[in-house]
Structure 1
């Protein structure tokens, strides 16, 4: 931050005080608690955690409260706080097949092995305002709350592999690079792309995914499986020589099935798009999976269609909402010197034009 005029610091302090007053709102109304935000605005909390790259519902709720509900500002706060935290190791890859699924659906298999679990979703609701929610206290639900599936649930996509119809994914033994600590390098590998998309702006990634469905990429996809639930997080302890469970987190995982006509090196088959994000973030996970598949055109030997969603540099350089916000909003800050130079340049050009074309100037 810089101050270009005398008295700017005092004005900024006053602006901060006014912001705090506006944040609190009418003091006759009870203040919103962190617990209320965490429990009742959980989808907003999930987005802040996902795009802030920090899994902590309480801190995400605090950031939402501090930012007055501006989720991008809340994400900025979480990322800034994250930079102060030490990194003391890497966890083992999570095993999503062991997920305790709150929700698990497939758009490609009606009788999916393990069954379809609809879970908590807006998909089957009428988009009508429920004025019961405006009451002082919410009525208790009549239906008994469903329990998540606790037994291991195999991935539906693996059943396609029994016929050899889907491309086999090759496991990477190396620890993937950490985008939050190392700058993005282009061209990037798939692990980096997925990191960037998972913490990218939901609206931007959604727009890119939508463009692929409208023909701006060779990407006709089906949702092979979408699952949401808690998974254990394990970390290997050097002193023990084996991994122990250090907690659990809720994740949304999406695998899409995409038709592939084949290339010189690959036979006709189905290929995958993949998305994995913190919390219940279905729209984001599906969007990531669609864009992930669109960006794989080169490794699959497909020709470049020129679509924006297939341009790795364009997508990865613009999906981050914190970078975008910073660059966009910095033009609100003082640019007096820059503008004065532009103003003098335009005046000079007008004088030169008047000297060169005096009759035209007179006519005007």
Structure 2
């Protein structure tokens, strides 16, 4: 039978108070400031901005602090806040070719126009704990501050000039805004890219890894990975021009993939694409691999039955906010549902027992 829960409001208030106490931590230690979180946990705040679809380092840092470092919860908080903001205008597409680069590497050409720029990266560290940081010895990890590099041409232009890289088809229609319109399948590539840009990094990483292990047959090279600042512009119809109103940091990845050709197109390379807000290198690479896997239909390739090629599987399960909401709702009261299941099991056991006795 259904038993009503009592004292819920008082218990919830106590839980909130306890949460605030746990979030503060040991009061002998100084409290973390939002500026510290944004600057010293920059990659955490970048992930929250990317998956929360809102570029604001201070708000992302607040979400990280409020969630006690649970980044999925922080994404949820930022998405919820985003829904309260008015839409003042739509910006022009970002011109990442004019990016002021702080990191730029290519796995396809050693000598690329403008040169490789390693930038701040974990790629060449020994993956050993640095106890100098624990001791507060910041000088042990000192680095030379470098000025941002000038804009660089795209590596893909090298292959494009020879006709070896498939041209991206132009999108004449205004792309659907996934933040304002529910996802519908089948989805075109702009809509897929929006969903992947908001997707959970871990989910995309697993799917990308699966394509590298043969589930989808999309062997990829990193044509170019770049991180840097780009201007955000908005058109002013009254003035007949566009105005840059902000500068944001983004991560962009273009992968180069084999393509044997089809009846309509000659053998050439194709590309996967990933673009995220902030410094989210792993996410951008994963996004580009999954994007390429999902293009099998447009390219006339055979469907290999791989998870990364299944548009519905990928797009309907990649959003961590939706996944978290559906997953965590099962810890809320389901007393009536369970009582019904319990009574059903008891009845089936009684019937099975009676049938056994009759057979004897």
Partner of 2:264 in structure 1? 265
Residue 142 of structure 1 deviates from its aligned partner by 5.0
Under a length normalisation based on structure 1, what TM-score does the superposition of the two structures give?
Answer: 0.96
List gaps (5 residues or longer) in structure 2.
none
Q: Distance between the aligned counterparts of 2:174 and 2:68, measured in 1?
A: 37
Are residues 308 and 42 of structure 1, via their aligned partners in 2, closer, same or farther at CA, if it must alter by over 3 Å? same
Under a length normalisation based on structure 2, what TM-score does the superposition of the two structures give?
Answer: 0.97
Residue 22 of structure 1 deviates from its aligned partner by 0.3
Residue 141 of structure 1 deviates from its aligned partner by 5.6
Partner of 2:285 in structure 1? 286
Q: Secondary structure at the match of 1:269?
A: coil
Residue 325 of structure 1 deviates from its aligned partner by 0.7
Partner of 1:205 in structure 2? 204
| 1:316-335 pair list within 5 angstroms | 316-335=315-334
Contact 1:225/1:255 (8 A) holds in 2: yes
1:91-119 CA-partner distances (Å, limit 9, x unpaired)? 11111110000000000000011100000
Q: How many residues align?
A: 358
Q: Distance between the aligned counterparts of 2:117 and 2:251, measured in 1?
A: 14
1:80-139 CA-partner distances (Å, limit 9, x unpaired)? 000000001111111111000000000000001110000000001111111111124622
Are residues 260 and 181 of structure 1, via their aligned partners in 2, closer, same or farther at CA, if it must alter by over 3 Å? same
Q: Distance between the aligned counterparts of 1:28 and 1:136, measured in 2?
A: 18
Contact 1:49/1:60 (8 A) holds in 2: yes
Does 1:27 pair with 2:27? yes
1:226-277 CA-partner distances (Å, limit 9, x unpaired)? 0000001110012211101101110000000000011122211100000000
1:302-347 CA-partner distances (Å, limit 9, x unpaired)? 1110001000000000000111111111110010100000000011
Q: Distance between the aligned counterparts of 2:140 and 2:320, measured in 1?
A: 38
Partner of 1:91 in structure 2? 91
Partner of 2:18 in structure 1? 18
Partner of 1:350 in structure 2? 349
| 1:1-364 pair list within 5 angstroms | 5-136=5-136, 138-139=138-139, 143-150=143-150, 152-358=151-357
Residue 4 of structure 1 deviates from its aligned partner by 5.0
List gaps (5 residues or longer) in structure 1.
none
Q: CA RMSD in A?
A: 1.4
Q: Secondary structure at the match of 1:153?
A: coil
1:13-62 CA-partner distances (Å, limit 9, x unpaired)? 00000000000011111000000000000000000000000000000000
Q: Distance between the aligned counterparts of 1:127 and 1:250, measured in 2?
A: 26
Are residues 6 and 143 of structure 1, via their aligned partners in 2, closer, same or farther at CA, if it must alter by over 3 Å? closer
1:173-212 CA-partner distances (Å, limit 9, x unpaired)? 3332111111000000101101101110000000000000
1:271-305 CA-partner distances (Å, limit 9, x unpaired)? 00000001111100000000000000000001110
Where do 4+ consecutive residues of structure 1 move more than 6 Å?
none
Contact 1:257/1:270 (8 A) holds in 2: yes
Q: Secondary structure at the match of 1:260?
A: coil
